[in-house]
Amino acid sequence: MNTTASSPALSTIGAVERETGLLKDTLRVWERRYGFPAPIRDEAGERLYPRDQVDRLRLICRLMDQGWRPGKLLALPADELDALIAADRTRRAPTLLSGELVAALRAHDVEALRRGFQAALLEKGLKGLITDLIAPLNVDIGEAWLRGELGVPDEHFYTEQLQTFLRGALASYPRPGRPPRVLLTTLPEEEHGLGLLMAEVMLSAEGAHCCSLGPRMPVTDIVRAAQTASADVVALSFSAAFPARQALDGLRTLRATLPPSIELWVGGAGAPARLREEPGIRLMRDIGELPDTVSDWRSRH
Amino acid sequence: MNTTASSPALSTIGAVERETGLLKDTLRVWERRYGFPAPIRDEAGERLYPRDQVDRLRLICRLMDQGWRPGKLLALPADELDALIAADRTRRAPTLLSGELVAALRAHDVEALRRGFQAALLEKGLKGLITDLIAPLNVDIGEAWLRGELGVPDEHFYTEQLQTFLRGALASYPRPGRPPRVLLTTLPEEEHGLGLLMAEVMLSAEGAHCCSLGPRMPVTDIVRAAQTASADVVALSFSAAFPARQALDGLRTLRATLPPSIELWVGGAGAPARLREEPGIRLMRDIGELPDTVSDWRSRH
DNA sequence: GTCCTGTTTTGTCCAGGACAAAAAGGGAGG
DNA sequence: CCTCCCTTTTTGTCCTGGACAAAACAGGAC
């Protein structure tokens, strides 16, 4: 087992920030308040975080994503933390994720995954593939990751293969599409582009004209791009971890800046539910609603 | 009045950090030492950066990427800075970037771009497309962006379309490949995946077996993944902006941790030149070297 | 030219205090 | 019982100004 020397045994506070996403200030204030993490110091008095503490920080981040509060977790001794992770692991039951698929992911078996996608495509068609297989699969994989059954590389590997598959489908679609012209992107703080890609495939399958800008687009630029591309609709996606408040603010600004004639469609697990009441914004709770929304748009034009 | 929107007239220091990549500490120390940026303060005494200062910071970052030193730039009055940018704009002449292509990018014309790629593919083949068109085009587009001829959305749009095109090619490749088995990824600090994708296409064109993990992979996980996927080669890519020192450190750690039987190939504009002398690491200055490197590997096995 | 060495520049880190935003808790009223 | 509103606690982010190490530069010797 290769527990030595990889991703250096001691990390500076900056490295830990980059690795865990926890700001330097947060790391320092946790240490002051809760006594954890407790990095050692170099000759100059600078913090050096041992790898096991960084690992534990990662566990803590996981549990926080599930609603635990830092105060509780940081006060906990290491073994109780492990117990919590273990408890959580048993609580969540895998639903769709078959043993074969997990095996394919863990072995990084390009072929097996491709075959799986391809088979589902033939059986259900492209839209069915996304709504019935990919969408629930993403949820399951996220949960399996939380349970610790899948590692970082497994998840990245899945994302890559899925992307290649979906983009392959996209590339072979007949172009150009017909209205509505849809501009797809995410706000600057949202870096996940997979939901966006799924939406693009669904829209293309409906024959819509798609123009994706990928993730991380400033509001000003979205507005400008929507105008130069003469888009009918701007579609945004939010992943689960996106802070609801930020989403709401960004969307309101965007809605206020965007010409009223351009519609604003929003989806993804992180799309704030409060959006229902927001005027001029169309919220989709499920990616399966996309085709109907397109038909609806067309009947109105 | 949108106080916390995505690109508001006033940004907090944290927002500026996320937007420009300059650390909070750096922003504060610049202010202390050079008197710029000079944000206003809210009632609580917290910095609020006006948009024009953030824009100027972005200009400064641009010039720094070209070798200017912050001390010079920050002491400069605004108009001289503009003059510098203008001078730079004239100095660099566009080489390959045709007027039509610029137009297609700015209009976000999906079709025109696709047709361009497709034509080049038919004429030169996949490898030729990448080495003769895409690789120099990337450089040109980067420079056009520096000159201010292309905006953020234009560049994102290009990236998206190119990705769809390349992945489409990838999806239609015969599988599985034959040895070497190559694992592709980037270090955690490197988020650009386009170079990686180009490499994957080149390798697939050579018939190699590729397994891409996408960007941002911790060293520990790279090693583990290379072993579980029984890779013969780990290939890493670095974009131009990557700090040379960090690259060198990461690569040395990786080389030391990776079993000696697994080769380490490195490429991209940000791959540090010093790597030449590094034992056990194969540096490619140009993506065109990839096929020869594969042949060489095969003749050795 | 290339290599080495001293100097300047530059980025990152520290401590410990402050405060605002978010979450939790606790009634009052539908 | 749930929902709304208010208070308290928790939590993250920002502040100052000092320190220092790494990188870039400049100058001199070979």
Distance CA B2, CA B9 (A): 9
pLDDT at B91: 62
pLDDT at B93: 52
Alpha-carbon Rg for chain B, nearest whole angstrom, is 22
- Give chain B's count of helices (H) and strands (E): 13, 8
Residue A94 half-sphere exposure, CB side, CA atoms within 13 Å?
A: 18
Residue A8 has φ and ψ, to the nearest 5°, of -25, 145
| Terminal-residue alpha carbon distance, chain B | 67
How far from chain centre, in Å, is Cα A290? 19
Q: What is the pLDDT of residues B165-196, one digit of tens each?
A: 999 988 887 777 889 999 999 987 788 899 99
Q: What is the pLDDT of residues A65-116, one digit of tens each?
A: 777 888 888 888 777 887 877 776 666 555 555 667 777 888 888 888 888 8
pTM of the entire predicted model: 0.85
Mean pLDDT of A169-181: 84
pLDDT at A1: 37
From edge to edge, which strands make up the β-sheet containing A281-283? A208-212, A178-185, A233-237, A263-267, A281-283
**B49 CA: distance to closest CA in chain A (Å):** 16
Is residue A52 less than 8 Å (CB to CB) from chain B? no
- Give chain A's count of helices (H) and strands (E): 13, 8
Q: What string of DSSP letters covers A264-281?
A: EEEESTTS-GGGGGSTTE
Residue ranges of E strands in chain B: 10-11, 40-41, 47-50, 178-185, 208-212, 233-237, 263-267, 281-283
Q: Report helix, strand or coil for B233.
A: strand
Which strand (E) or helix (H) includes residue B168? helix B152-171
Other Cβ atoms closer than 10 A to B61: 15
Residues 6+ apart with CB under 8 A from A253: A219, B2, B5, B6, B8
Is residue B253 less than 8 Å (CB to CB) from chain A? yes
From edge to edge, which strands make up the β-sheet containing A10-11? A10-11, A47-50, A40-41
pLDDT at B6: 43
Tracing tokens 């050692």 back to the chain, one arrives at: A40
Is residue A1 less than 8 Å (CB to CB) from chain B? no
Of the two residues A126 and B95, the one the predictor is more confident about is A126
From first to last of its 301 residues, what are the pLDDT tens digits of chain B? Answer: 333 334 567 889 998 998 888 999 999 999 999 998 999 988 888 899 998 899 899 888 888 877 788 888 888 877 788 777 777 666 655 555 566 777 788 888 888 888 888 888 998 899 999 998 898 888 888 777 766 778 888 999 999 999 999 999 888 877 778 899 999 999 877 888 999 999 999 999 999 999 999 998 888 889 999 999 899 999 999 887 776 767 777 888 888 889 999 999 998 887 777 666 677 888 888 899 999 999 999 999 8
Distance CA B184, CA B179 (A): 14
Lowest mean pLDDT among A8-12, A227-231, B264-268: A8-12
Other Cβ atoms closer than 10 A to B85: 16
Over 60: is that where the pLDDT of A3 sits? Answer: no
pLDDT at B219: 84
pLDDT at B67: 78
Other Cβ atoms closer than 10 A to B38: 12
Q: Do A156 and B218 touch (CB under 8 A)?
A: no
Mutating which of B24, B156, B246 best tests the A interface, going by the most A Cβ atoms within 10 A? B156
| Partner residue opposite B167 with nearest CB, options A151, A156, A163 | A163
Tracing tokens 């990889």 back to the chain, one arrives at: A6
Distance CA B123, CA B125 (A): 6
Residue A282 has φ and ψ, to the nearest 5°, of -105, 115
Q: Residue A144 corresponds to which tokens in the numbers above?
A: 């399996």
pLDDT at A245: 67
| Residue A89: burial class (beta carbons within 10 Å; 0-12, 13-18, 19+) | middle
Q: Are strands B233-237 and B10-11 parallel, antiparallel or unpaired?
A: unpaired
Strand partners, A181: A209
Is residue A230 less than 8 Å (CB to CB) from chain B? no
- Angle between the B135-147 and B99-107 helix axes, to the nearest 10 degrees? 70
- Domains, chain A: 10-91 (1.10.1660.10), 99-170 (1.10.1240.10), 176-300 (3.40.50.280)
pLDDT at B66: 77
Distance CA B74, CA B37 (A): 8
Listed by range, residues with Cβ under 7 angstroms from strand C are A 12-15, 17, 24-25, 28-29, 32, 45-47, 67, 69, 245; B 22-23, 25-26, 29-30, 33, 43-44, 64, 69-72
Residue B103 has φ and ψ, to the nearest 5°, of -60, -45
Tracing tokens 């110091």 back to the chain, one arrives at: A41
Q: How far is the CA of A244 from the C1' of D4 (A)?
A: 21
Mean pLDDT of A235-246: 78
